Structure 1
Amino acid sequence: MIALGDSASSTIQISPTSKISIDDWFQADIEIKVNCFSGKINAFFESGDLTRFYHDVIKLNKTLKGKAELLPREDQFKLSLIADNLGHIIVKGHAYEQACYGNCLNFEFEIDQSYLSELIDSLEIHVRI
């Protein structure tokens, strides 16, 4: 499971539910909890999506500048981590019920930079380095 955030307030958990297929796709359950709102979807990813995100998060953690984005091709789920100049990370994105249509949960919350190392550790298990 790939985890981001503080379980007491706002979290995002991505749990792969299938192995990477021969054409490089896999499915994952995504749970989003932002204060009193929550949602769960199942989305498709390509293995390169997580690999790019992993490397971007490592860079963000080292520099605390710029952003790291998880941008699957189908755009059903999007996750952006944006550094501010105070050591905070703004987490924002969206989750559609179906690939790019249906109900949509737009979310945004803030975490401390210390959560990035936990995210990196959880991503490392799922990426092809």
Structure 2
Amino acid sequence: MYVFFLRGNQGCFVRITFDEVFGFPKLTSPFGGYDVRGTVEIKSGNYCVKGELWFSTGEIYEFYNQLSRCFTELKGISSFCTTEANLKLEVAFGHRGQVVIEGYFKEFAHRDNELKFEIESNQSFFVETLDGLREIISHYGDLKGKRFE
């Protein structure tokens, strides 16, 4: 089971866990990589949510590349949005290592019940995030997946 965190100040976080990966290593997803059923947990201030999530390892690969570039350059915005658009994250790197994680989570797309959140963070928290994402990519590969002969 793979997991990665986006940590913020005062114990706030976003945690995404891989519960089941479909098709690995032979059948890739139309969204790149492999389809994943996972869990998202968000703690922002006094608000907490936990719910099911569907995404692809290809989307994780693209998010990692954006996040890595922003981390290195100390500027820019990296985005992660699931194919069902029930989770959206934007990680904005500002000057002096300040980072803001904004987004929303909707358990069901057809209902107007959603958590919008903003988590203040800093660059030092993202070493762990990038390490976790790198481990996932090393196992599942890029947008084309990782086919073993």
TM-score, normalising length: structure 1:
0.91
Q: Does 1:4 align with 2:6?
A: yes
Unaligned runs of 5+ in 1: none
Which structure has the highest strand share of the two?
Answer: 1
Q: C-alpha displacement at 1:99, in angstroms? A: 3.4
Residue from 45, 49, 56 that aligns with 1:39:
49
Identity %: 23
Higher helix share: 2
Maintained 8 Å contact 1:74/1:100: no
RMSD, aligned CA: 1.6
The structure with the largest alpha-carbon Rg is 2
Point out where structure 2 has 5 or more consecutive residues left out of the alignment: 143-149
* Counterpart for residue 95 of structure 2: 85
CA distance in 1 between counterparts of 2:110 and 2:74 reads 31
Compute the displacement of 1:31 (Å).
0.3
Matches within 5 A, 1:63-78: 63-78=73-88
Q: Which deviates more, 112-121 or 100-109?
A: 100-109
Between 105-114 and 16-25, the greater mean CA deviation after superposition: 16-25
Once the two structures are superposed, residues 72-119 of structure 1 have per-residue CA deviations (whole angstroms, 9 ceiling, x without a partner) of 221110111001223201000000011363410000011011111110
Higher relative contact order (CA 8 A, sep 6+): 2
Quote the residue 2:147 is aligned against: none
Give the structure-2-normalised TM-score.
0.80
Number of equivalences: 129
